[in-house]
Amino acid sequence: MKRAYKERFYPTEQQTELLAKSFGCARFVWNNTLKHRTDAYYERGESIAHSVLEKRLVPLKAEFEWLKEVSSVIFQQCLRDQQEAFKNFWDKRTKYPRFKSKHDRQSIRLTKAAFHYNDGQLFIAKSKEPLNVRWSRNLSSEPSSITISKDRAGRYFVSMLCEFESKPMPVTAKTVGIDLGLNNLFITDDGIKIDNPRHTKRYENKLAYLQRKLVKKKKGSKNRDKIRQKVARLHAKIADSRLDNLHKLSRKLINENQVICVESLAVKNMIRNPKLAKHIADASWGEFIRQLKYKAEWAGRTIAEIDRFFPSSKRCSSCGFVHESMPLNIRNWTCPECKTLQDRDINAAMNIRTVGLAGLV
């Protein structure tokens, strides 16, 4: 299996300048190539092959001499990433590729021709000093490729793709069904309710204050850039807190259960609801399920997904009676058939577990 190890690093002044040039050149090649492909299609109905675009790099570097100041591997990987973006677009998995902005997250990808790893030190092309990486763990193997990124808060990260051998965890007889929610992040079939931390709501007043200050600053001024950095750092803090909580919860579920039954939710469709969009995004259901899936694969566990249209909340887990409708404000209800008092969320988790396990037989 392959696994990415992401670590933070602190570049020197020379490396900061080199990375700034690398990010800028990669962004230029991406945008220039994207414009070239788009114009060719709309003007001549032509779809340009990837091999043609690779050959186009030679005259492009001759026209813009400053492109030669960084490794050419960056441009080759940039074109491969764009080709993959178009493939996803043609397969209707994503939208049309967008132009990149210098104000967004910056990143470059390097193969072994542009970096080398030796005894815990990582060197990149055009730099004589190793990156000052704050290692939190040992790599499972020598990286096959690395991605260097800079977020909007000004932090630098390196993600290293390595081969590793997963070790299945001891088999346990415990299974669980979980129902995702907003008041509680998720509820298990045995009645355990995990609170939703609501990280965005926790910092929304401070965020609103900083954003009000930001819009009052003159565009292009140093004061505006200082406030923009504060806003970016606060957004990064919210995102890091959310991810940390999700990693801890997903790891606990994987460690304790052999089979985890979940509902396959169309989060992209649900987030279109203007009243719930912010709360659904803050709960980050999609990221939580993603973490469960890859951790289950590593640990030899099973994730059983049930159909999103299964009436888990409207169906009585005791007798199987199904209500025609059940608004979100109804949190407890009594089954008209068996007279059982049901907690909406626990009942849904029990149904999800039952159907999920049945699908594995």
The residue behind tokens 């007279």 is 339
Query: Among the residues of the chain, which ranges form H helices?
Result: 13-44, 50-63, 73-90, 199-216, 222-256, 267-270, 277-283, 285-299, 344-358
Residue 135 contacts residue 7 (beta carbons within 8 Å) = yes
DSSP 247-298: HHHHHHHHHH-SEEEEE---HHHHTT-TTTHHHHHHHTHHHHHHHHHHHHHH
Q: What is the C-alpha separation between 352 and 343, in angstroms, rounded?
A: 14
Pairing mode, if any, of strands 193-195 and 184-188? antiparallel
Identified catalytic residue from 54, 195, 337, 345: 345
Catalytic site residue 190? Answer: no
345 catalytic, yes or no? yes
Tokens at residue 69, please?
């100041």
Check residue 45 and give left, alpha or beta (phi > 0: left; psi -120 to 50: alpha).
left
Q: Which two tokens stand for residue 39?
A: 């114009």
Instruction: Report d(CA 201, CA 104) in Å as an integer.
Output: 24
CA distance 358 to 177: 12
Q: How far apart are CA 81 and CA 102, in angstroms?
A: 18
Phi, psi of 105, rounded to the nearest 5 degrees = -60, 135
The H helix count followed by the E strand count for the chain is 9, 13
Contacts of 199 (CB under 8 A, 6+ apart): 238, 241, 242, 245, 282
Catalytic annotation, pick one of 46, 163, 179, 189: 179
Per the annotation, the verdict on 263 as an active-site residue is yes
3-class SS of residue 137: coil
Task: Tell me which residue has tokens 């909406």.
Answer: 344
Q: Which of 263, 282, 297, 305 is catalytic?
A: 263
Q: Are 338 and 322 in contact (CB under 8 A)?
A: no
What amino acid positions are annotated as catalytic residues?
179, 263, 345
